[in-house]
Chains A and B, each alone.
Chain A
Amino acid sequence: MLRNVFRLEWRNVWRDAAARAVVLVFALLAGYAAFGGSRSVSAARDAQATAERDEVARLNELREQLGAIAGGAPVKHVADPRNALLVGRELAPRVAALPPGPLAVVAVGQRDVLPAVIELTTKTRRAGARHDAGASPLEKSNGPFDLAFVFVFLLPLIVIALSYDLLSGERERGTLSLVLSQPITLTTFVLGKGLQRAALVLGLVIVLALLGPVSSGAELAASGAPLALHLLLYLLLVALYGVFWLALGVLVNSRGRSSAANALTLVGLWLALLVVVPGLASVAVDTIYPSPSRVELVNLARAAASDAEARTTAVEGDHGKPADATSAEQAIAMQAELERQLGPVQIRFREQHQRQQALVDKLRFLSPAILLNEGLSDVSGSGVARHQYFSAQVDVFHARLKAFFEQRVRRGTPLTVADYDAMPRFVYEEPPAKELALRVGASLLALVSLIAALLALATARLRSGRPSSGR
């Protein structure tokens, strides 16, 4: 009997022009999002490659100059490739890049606001100039049109469109009494219809979810993370999220109200879970753990650097003043003093960000939409967590870089080709897969239990037989 219902439903949905249109539009939007995703990921990769190429070119140029000077060429004192102090803080900025994650094509996440290329000198650590167009402020404030948006925001609406009249529609058309006159229980009937919708939603979601990875196949191969695990978690997240909304649809239908009332209730729930809860959660995060002020930091950094800058203008010499030979030790001391003053501020920023993320990790259980959004950021490697991981590695690298040059400055001898060869290079390491599996695993578990609870409630309601045929 269940099989009959299932087959009948396939035919019904297939013949429904509106359902076909809804599915088609959704597929087109997902296709556009996948296309946009692969475009932005390859742009990001090209941009990083350019930044890294520029870095190599800069170093090679310095090496050539080194050779030329050895061959007797005149030395420009403001660009002396033998001067360890100058090379470390100005002439050879090093690049640390965070490659787009294995499934970056799926979610832009925080990729458009967090710097993926960081430029380091012994004096500064700052976001490198972007080599791709990046997102305009308007794009950032509207939000990206990526697969994550399509799944988090639009998929529930598609599922609602396919399920809001699951039972109420039968009643309103008068076909429910007809069906129930057959040897079939209400629960089996709804189960059959629900399973058909589930098959439809799952098929659709999995095909569309794979559009992204498929459209950027070449990019996938390049990344070092365990792709199979990422893909598996990604598909599970999206599939369970779809099933959650379907279960919600079944539950709402089990109350026996009209189709219009069901649609309004489901849209209300959508609003609550996608707009209200995340909005309030973000207000909570900003209120409980407000970020330290970047505006205050501007003046703070300046006040701290003011002394150092005033004394080092001569060293940097914009207008051809000769660098002071005795200033090397002094410059190192000043740099250390600067870090002593600003270090705690930077730590305050970092710690607050970690607290914020920890709170988000807890608050995500308030809404399946946040679960999915965070989960997609994690599996795509576009989230805050992976960036924090990257940032910590950059700090370690920065310390190495500073130690390298400090040692050479103290040594007091000119830099040689051997020194250039020994210069530290940044190599990014992916976070352990176990961490990802645990984080996303918890989300999946939450979704599964939520679905089970919704279905148990719906079954209990249907068994009680209230919404039989009449009003």
Chain B
Amino acid sequence: MSDRTRSRRRIHQALIKKELREVIRDGRFWMIALIIAGLSLVALSFGLSRSHAVASERAAAQHEANEQWRGQGNKNPHVAAHYGTHVFKPVGALPFIDPGVEPFVGVSVKLEAHRRNDSAAGRAEDATGLSRFGGLSVALVLQLLIPLLTIGLGFSAWTAERERGTLRQLASLGLPPRLLAAGKALGIAAALGVLLVPALAVGGAIIAVWPDAANGHEHAVTSSAARSLAMLVAYGAYFLVFVSLVLAVSAWARSSRAALVVLLGFWVAAALVTPRAASDAAAWLAPMPSQAKTATDIRRSIAEGLPGVPREKRIDEITEKLLAEHGFQGAELFMPPALLASTELQAEAAFENEVIDHHYDRLSEAIERQERLSQTAAVVSPVVAIRSLSMALAGTDFTHHRLFADSAEQHRRALVAMLNEELGKKGGDDAWSYEAGSELWERAPKFEPTKPGLAWVLDNQRISVAALLIWLIASVLAAWWGARRLRVV
């Protein structure tokens, strides 16, 4: 290592030390840090106890539902398909960090023959008016309060030096501006670190023991290690955006006061106004069909068939195909009666599934259109980007919910198909008086919810990831450029 680099490094260290010392000697920093630490602690312990309760509650409920299914007594397999069962949503990977949309969606789906039910048993109805303030979560602290703290720490980083007259001194050192800017950024980052590193240690410890805490709930989304790491990176980038923005504005501003006003204005616009305005405007510009309309459309299509293909015609087509598979095409009369009944039931179910798919595909398209639109607001607000990314990584966004609903539907189809098939195999001459028992209920397929990996999440969050990156590059460039053109007096 040359002397030159060594002395540079020493200057660099001295700069960071100076910035950090300035912050740490400020009584206000400690007060705010204490408040934020206290809040994080409350949010973390509340979030944790809530997710713990939810996880064990759902595990118990799933167990109970499975027991009910097994203990339903002797009955005809198709009657059992009508009786159905319930599946419960697995708890997200990191719900205690970001509850996301979880409080506003259902958590259990009733599975039964002939229909796809919406998820139910959500908690939204149990909330008081206080929920309008957004509740208290770790995500709230990270997304809203830390940026505000960053603003408080750094708005006068450059302007105060100029106002005190120390900027001239600093400039006379002959250091490149980017080094000075980096020193200031690291100073603020170090101050944030004083607060964040202990929080991170606590959070990390919790995540490490979480699978056990989930009480053997086998459905808990896995890959939480990768997700936690990604979340760490995402929030790191997000904080860096704010540190750089604060430094950039402080370099460009005429006075500390102007810098503060601009930064607070930005925070209000980015953190308060844009997320609400974006989801509100998206719902207006890309409206979704009403629940009642979708339900009516499905009911009508099941009664009449999809446009252009009448119900009976389509069911006949499917029946023919199934008969051919069994080797009885055109020879139904020679078929065992139960097998014929079963084939007809299968054909009816296949037709219903086609109808359901048709309508749900359109619904999904509408939902995705609206979501893309509201995600696009991330271009004007990094808060929108991190919100979306954070709940996706926590496994608590609407996309994860829909994935659960879809895998419940796939399970329903497998279950109904298996029961109908059983009717054909065992029903003999009189399908409808045949009764199966617990042996069959035991053999029924088990619900295996899809466990999406990190790649899937990031693919869904392309817009947010890209927006966050753009914000990062732009803000770092602005901070660097601001330091270069800094006026000394």
Contacts and interface: CB of A to CB of B under 8 A. Distances in A.
A135 interface: yes
Contacts of B126: 291, 294, 349, 353
Contacts of B342: none
Contacts of B57: 293, 295-296
B132 interface: yes
A148 B46 CA distance: 27
Which secondary structure dominates chain A's binding surface?
A: helix
Interface stretch (B168-176, B232-240, B241-249, B291-299): B291-299
Could you say which of B257, B277, B291 has the most chain A C-beta atoms within 10 Å of its C-beta? B257
B132 A143 contact: yes
Interface string A98-128: 0000000000011001110000000000001
A176 interface: no
A440 interface: no
A260 B289 contact: no
Interface string A149-176: 1000110010001000100000010000
A114 B125 contact: yes
Contacts of A139: 279-280, 283
Contact of A271 (B82, B148, B289, B370): B148
Contacts of A3: none
A276 B34 CA distance: 13
Nearest to B75: A310
A144 interface: yes
A353 B126 CA distance: 7
A36 B130 CA distance: 22
Contacts of B108: 295, 298
A133 to B, nearest CB: 5
Could you say which of A47, A286, A296 has the most chain B C-beta atoms within 10 Å of its C-beta? A286
A281 B134 CA distance: 12
Interface string B61-88: 1001100100011010011001100101
A204 interface: no
Given A144-B276, A356-B128, A137 B291 contact: no
Contacts of B129: 109-110, 360, 373-374, 377, 383-384
Contact of B121 (A131, A145, A298, A349): A298
B256 interface: yes
Contacts of A113: 104, 124-125, 127
A67 interface: no
B125 A281 contact: no
Interface string B344-385: 000000000000000000000001001100100000000000
A271 B39 CA distance: 12
Interface in B117-157: 120-136, 140, 144-145, 148, 152, 155-156
A131 B134 CA distance: 27
Contact of B104 (A141, A144, A148, A303): A141
Contact of B268 (A154, A309, A310): A154
Contact of B140 (A115, A279, A369, A383): A279
A144 B135 contact: no
Given A145-B277, A161-B261, A276-B35, A137 B101 contact: yes
Contacts of A340: none
Given A275-B145, A309-B83, A370 B130 contact: yes
A385 B425 CA distance: 57
Of the four ranges (under 10, 10 to 19, 20 to 34, 35 or more), the interface on chain A belongs to: 35 or more
Contacts of A278: 130, 133
B68 A133 contact: no
Interface stretch (A219-227, A231-239, A262-270, A397-405): A262-270
A295 B290 contact: no
Nearest to A130: B291
Contacts of A280: 42, 136
A282 B128 CA distance: 8
Interface residues of B, number: 90
Nearest to A291: B126
Contact of A142 (B107, B256, B275): B275
Contacts of B107: 294-295
A300 to B, nearest CB: 9
B61 A141 contact: no
A211 B283 CA distance: 22
Nearest to A360: B128
A365 interface: no
Contacts of A274: 133
Given A131-B290, A138-B101, A306 B132 contact: no
Nearest to A289: B128
Contacts of A370: 130, 133
B123 to A, nearest CB: 6
Nearest to B133: A278
B291 A134 contact: yes
A271 B279 contact: no
Nearest to B83: A309
A7 to B, nearest CB: 26
Interface string B161-194: 0000000000000000000000000000000000
B257 A263 contact: yes
Contacts of B82: 313, 318
B100 interface: yes
Given A110-B129, A140-B104, A260-B257, A145 B65 contact: no
A418 to B, nearest CB: 31
Contacts of A128: 292
Contacts of B122: 294
Contacts of B387: 142
A131 B288 contact: no
A383 B127 CA distance: 11
A283 interface: yes
B466 interface: no
A128 B145 CA distance: 40
Given A140-B124, A275-B145, A132 B290 contact: yes
B292 A283 contact: no
Could you say which of A39, A145, A281, A363 has the most chain B C-beta atoms within 10 Å of its C-beta? A145
A29 B273 contact: yes
A47 B293 CA distance: 11
B376 to A, nearest CB: 13
A302 interface: yes
A291 B123 contact: yes
Interface in B317-365: none
Contact of A357 (B28, B128, B155, B289): B128
Nearest to A313: B79
A330 interface: no
Contacts of B72: 306, 310
A297 interface: yes
Interface string A374-404: 1001000001100000000000000000000
A29 B274 CA distance: 11
Contacts of B278: 142
Interface of A: 18, 29, 32, 36, 39, 47, 50-51, 109-110, 113-115, 128-145, 148-149, 153-154, 157, 161, 165, 172, 258-260, 263-264, 267-268, 271, 274-276, 278-283, 285-287, 291, 293-299, 302-303, 306, 309-310, 313, 318-319, 349, 353, 356-357, 360, 363, 369-370, 373-374, 377, 383-384
12 contacts: A47-B292, A110-B131, A114-B125, A129-B295, A135-B283, A136-B279, A136-B283, A259-B257, A264-B260, A293-B57, A296-B61, A383-B129
Given A143-B134, A275-B144, A296-B60, 15 more contacts: A136-B288, A138-B371, A140-B104, A140-B124, A142-B278, A172-B257, A263-B264, A267-B264, A286-B46, A295-B57, A298-B86, A302-B68, A302-B86, A360-B129, A384-B128
| Shortest Cβ-Cβ A-B pairs, 10 listed | A279-B136, A278-B133, A291-B126, A137-B101, A129-B292, A282-B130, A145-B280, A113-B124, A140-B104, A294-B121
